[in-house]
Amino acid sequence: MEDHTIWIEKYRPLKLTDIVGQDEIVERLSSYVKSGNLPHLLFTGNAGVGKTTAAVTLAREFFKDSWQLNFRELNASDERGIDVVRNQIKQFARTTPLGEATFKILFLDEADALTTDAQAALRRTMETYAQTCRFILSCNYSSKIIDPIQSRCAIYRFKPLAPVAVKEEVCRIALHEGLSITTEAVEAIIYIAQGDMRKAINALQGAAIISSAIDETRVYAITSTARPDEIEDLMKLALSGDFDGAETLLASLLHERGIAPNELINQCYRALVQKPMDRGLKVELIDHLGETDFRLSEGSNSDIQMEALIARFVLSAQKCR
C-alpha cells in the first residue's frame, strides 16, 4: 500500500543520533539518557532546526516502549493563558509516572507565546512537581521567556542547519524515494531553506509531486521564489538608474510569478549583504529594505511600497555617484 504520509513526518528522526546538523546538542542530550536523569530544558532557535524532534526522540530514548504514556506535547500558541497552566499542565505534572519511568516529560512548544502571568504560574509548577515531571520548553525567542524560568532550565540554542546538513538529508530522501535530482536543484533547495529542514523537505516533496525528475527551475517555481540571478538583475537595474527596467522586472516577479513582496525583500537583503559595494550605500539600501518591510507589516499597499523601494534604490545610487 502506498504511503501518503507527509515527508516531514515520514522522515522525522526516531533516535537522537539520526538528527543532522546539531551534533554538539545531540551529544549533550545523549549524556542525559546515559545518566538516567534530566533537568528542565529550554530549546531556542529558528523554525525547522530540530527542536521538536530533539524533544520527542529524547523521550523515546528515556522511556522506550512506554514513551507515549510518559510524554505529552502541548502547543502554547493554541492556549496561551494562565488556565492551561493551572489545568492541563498541572494535571499532567502531578500524576505518577507509568511503567518503570521515574519521571515524565512535558514538552511545551512555542512557549514564548505564553502570557507573562501564565509563565509565572508555570514557574511555580516547575518547582512543585520537579520530582515527577521534567519540562522541555521550546521557543523561537528566548528573550520572551521570563528570567525565573530561564534560570531553572538548561538552555540549548539550536543553530540554523548548515548547507552540508540540508544537502545530506535532501539527497538521502531523494535516493529513498527514487527521485532524480540535479546538483543545481539541491543548491536551489539549500538556498530556499536557509537552514530550515522542514522548508527543504517540503520543497523537495512539492517538486516530486509534479515529476520524479527535479531541476532547479521546478524547485524555484513550486516554492514561488525568485532565482538568485533574478534578484541580482533587479538590483543591478535599480543601482544603474534604470527605473523602468527594474520596475518591469519587479512587476514580472510579483504578478506573473506570484512571489510575495516580503519574500522579495528577504532575498534582496540576502543578496545585498554579500554584495561588494560602497559601505555607505549598502547601509542606506538596507535601511530602505527595513523601512519597506515595516510598512508592509503595518498593512500598506504592497505594490506602492515595492515600487517606492525601487525608487529609493535608484535615488540612493544616483546620490552616491
Give pLDDT tens digits for 178-215: 999 999 999 999 999 999 999 999 999 999 998 899 99
Distance CA 193, CA 74 (A): 26
Tell me how far apart the alpha carbons of residues 74 and 137 are, in angstroms, rounded to a whole number: 10
CA distance 289 to 313: 9
Cell of 133: 515531571
Residue 1 has pLDDT above 50, yes or no: no
Percent of the chain with pLDDT over 70: 96
> Is residue 219 within 8 Å of 228, Cβ to Cβ?
no
| Closest to 198 (Cα-Cα) out of 71, 2, 18, 53 | 53
Q: Position of cell 499532567? A: 92
CA distance 120 to 125: 9
In Å, the largest CA–CA distance within the chain is 74
- Residues near 21 by Cβ (< 8 Å), separated by ≥ 6? 49, 50, 159, 161, 162, 165, 166, 197
- Contacts made by residues 304-313, CB under 8 angstroms, sequence distance 24+: 305/261, 306/250, 306/254, 306/261, 306/264, 307/247, 307/250, 309/265, 310/234, 310/238, 310/243, 310/246, 310/247, 310/250, 311/243, 312/288, 313/235, 313/238, 313/239, 313/246, 313/285, 313/288
pLDDT digits (tens, 9 = 90+) for 237-264: 999 999 999 999 999 999 999 999 999 9
Q: If we measure between CA atoms, which residue out of 274, 234, 270 comes closest to residue 253?
A: 234
Q: What angle do CA 252, 256, 262 make, to 5 degrees?
A: 75
Q: How many Å is the Cα radius of gyration of the chain?
A: 23
Q: What is the DSSP letter of 276?
A: -
**N-terminal to C-terminal alpha carbon distance within the chain:** 65
Sign of CA dihedral 121, 127, 128, 130: positive
Residues 6 or more apart in contact with residue 154 via CB below 8 angstroms: 39, 40, 41, 42
Q: Looking at residue 184, what is its pLDDT?
A: 95
Q: Which of 121-135, 239-253, 290-304 has the lowest mean pLDDT?
A: 121-135
Over residues 129-160, the pLDDT tens digits come to 888 899 999 999 889 999 999 999 999 999 99
Q: What is the pLDDT of residues 45-54, one digit of tens each?
A: 998 899 999 9
3 state SS of 51: helix
Average pLDDT, the chain: 90
Q: Residue 263: name the closest of 217, 230, 312 by CA.
A: 230
What pLDDT does 234 receive?
95
Q: Domains for the chain: give ranges and CATH numbers.
A: 7-158 (3.40.50.300), 163-222 (1.10.8.60), 228-319 (1.20.272.10)
